[in-house]
Structure 1
Amino acid sequence: MNHDVRHPSATKDVMSTHSVFGAPCWVSLTSRDLEATENFYAAVLGWEWQSAKLGDRARMALADGTPVAGIAAVAGAWQMPVAWTPYFAVPSADEAASRAQERGGTTAVGPLSFPPGRAALVADRDGATFGIWEGELIADWESWREAQPAFIRLHTRDAFDAAIFYGEVLDWASQRPGCCEVHYEGGEVVLRSRGDIVARIESGALGSAPDPTIRPHWQVHFAVADVAACARAAEIHGGSVLSKGSDEAVLRDPDGAQFTVTSRRER
């Protein structure tokens, strides 16, 4: 479920999904243990925490005072996988969910009303889960992107086929003003919004692989100052390092959710 709650201090800066659409606008994590999740991400990414309006199982993560992510400890109670999920801004959650279903995707949750908007959890036709969000954004879109989420990457079976699916569902490369641009760069599909790279799509995932990290999925990349320090902190606080380079590391939190930390200079 989406854990979007508008931050009180961002009231003057909120934007609607009518001005930003088709681009990722939020990320959320389903977990089992809220306190353990808070402690882990505070240690690894330096996040602070704020209560969310969706109850005592939900929290909002802040990076230098800017809302950057939602956390909800509902994985066990709702029989949901522990995972990070990106949400895309859309003018109409109902229309986007309908288009996804018409093109072979499935709607897992919603669309449901979460004032000040509507949200749904959807899976594309290869099984990768993503969210759609209609309504006011939590904070200014550019401030949110600058605060920490560098971009998201879809590991999928066929990048071109996936780009067509998402393009039709989210109105990428349409004639609408402000829509996202889609390009083929460096062997992968690249999504740009207002000139910035906001998502990448790469081929090579295996839909029937027993390892969920190899199956189609969206991976959230967080920008950090020190990749090695984040990797060390992850291990110290009960997580694990799946792979590590000088500018990027794939980490797993104690609950099993996978994410990537990327050097700020590589954004």
Structure 2
Amino acid sequence: MPAIKARKARDTTATVGGAPCWVSLMTHDVKGAQDFYGRVLGWQFRPGTRGAEFCSIALAEGRPVAGIGTLTPQRHVPVAWTPYFAVANANDTAARIRERGATLAVGPLEVGKGRGALAADRDGAVFGLWEGQTLSWSVGQGGAPTCLELRTRDAFESAIFYGEVFGWAPDRPGGCDISYEHDEVMVRDEGGHTVAALRGGAVESAPDPHVRPRWHVYFPVRDIEEVTAAAVAAGGFALPVTPMVDGGCEAVIRDSQGGLFTVATVQGTVPDAH
């Protein structure tokens, strides 16, 4: 991962087409998830406003960070964090997803003041799309995720898929720009801030058959040792803290219901989440 820097909080969210606009945890026990993330990351919670799927909104210093919703018993899917990407037209985006051989699992549906859908790319990584009003939230701002990373078998092939679905392209005005750096594809917004990364094998190498493709969420923390200890005490599991290539350190955590995420120290100011 590149060096992670916090951005100054803003009052409004810039809705760049194709950029991440939200993340949500779908879990079996919302109250249990609130207890875990409250203890580990210091979040507070309020009722959601987008409908039944988003049962609560997590807050860091009063600002939206993420959503937590309930997995119904009929949906036999694992607990997981899911990123949502802003689109101008959910129906058109859903059609592009189908045309490219991926799976549209849910929607598009009317949800609150917008329309959303859940999909899986051709390798099975789950993601969402969102058309409409967004909360004051953006990657790298405050306690929101510092970056989203797709861990997949072939980053180059995935970049083609997502680029066609969301309009990612080098030097594309008004949208996200992509570039190929070492073994990652970097996605940046209009200001040049990294909002997502796609990581597989090197561009020229064969895909890694052992990778289970999925989107991974990075949350900012001050004291990573304290956070990982709190995660274990709250019933989760934490891998050892490891240094990042360009500074700082990170650790992968599994929450008490099996949801995976990463915490990372950042350069700049973040809310006091341990």
TM category (shorter chain) comes to 0.7 to 0.9
Paired residues of 2:105 and 2:120 also in contact (CA < 8 A): yes
**Structure 2: distance between partners of 1:74 and 1:42:** 20
Provide, for residues 11-50 of structure 1, a one-character-per-residue CA deviation record: whole Å limited to 9, x for no partner: x955574xx2111110000111111100100111110000
Paired residues of 2:48 and 2:57 also in contact (CA < 8 A): yes
TM-score by length of 2: 0.84
**Structure 2: distance between partners of 1:37 and 1:59:** 10
Match of 1:103 among 81, 100, 103: 100
State the structure with bigger RCO (CA 8 A, min sep 6), 1 or 2.
2
**1:37 aligned partner:** 33
**Structure 2: distance between partners of 1:156 and 1:140:** 26
Provide, for residues 57-95 of structure 1, a one-character-per-residue CA deviation record: whole Å limited to 9, x for no partner: 711100111111000122535333210000011111111
**2:80 aligned partner:** 83
Give the direction of change, closer, same or farther, for the CA distance of 1:31–1:140 in structure 2 (3 Å limit): closer
Q: In structure 1, list runs of 5 or more residues that go unmatched.
A: 1-11
Paired residues of 1:15 and 1:136 also in contact (CA < 8 A): no
Instruction: Read off the aligned partner of 2:184 and give its amino acid letter.
Output: E
TM-score by length of 1: 0.86
**Structure 1: distance between partners of 2:220 and 2:99:** 35
**2:266 aligned partner:** 264
Paired residues of 2:238 and 2:253 also in contact (CA < 8 A): yes
Paired residues of 1:225 and 1:263 also in contact (CA < 8 A): yes
Paired residues of 1:16 and 1:137 also in contact (CA < 8 A): no
**Within-5 A mapping of 1:102-141:** 102-141=99-138
RMSD of aligned residue pairs (Cα, Å): 2.3
- Which 4+ stretches in 1 moved above 6 angstroms? none
**Structure 2: distance between partners of 1:125 and 1:185:** 23
Give the direction of change, closer, same or farther, for the CA distance of 1:156–1:77 in structure 2 (3 Å limit): same
**Structure 2: distance between partners of 1:15 and 1:34:** 26
**Structure 1: distance between partners of 2:240 and 2:117:** 32
Q: Where is the helix percentage greater, Structure 1 or Structure 2? A: 1
Paired residues of 2:218 and 2:261 also in contact (CA < 8 A): yes
Paired residues of 1:61 and 1:68 also in contact (CA < 8 A): yes
**Structure 2: distance between partners of 1:72 and 1:40:** 14
User: What is the aligned residue count?
Assistant: 248
Give the direction of change, closer, same or farther, for the CA distance of 1:16–1:152 in structure 2 (3 Å limit): closer
Q: In structure 2, list runs of 5 or more residues that go unmatched.
A: 1-9, 202-206, 244-248
Match of 2:256 among 254, 257, 261: 254
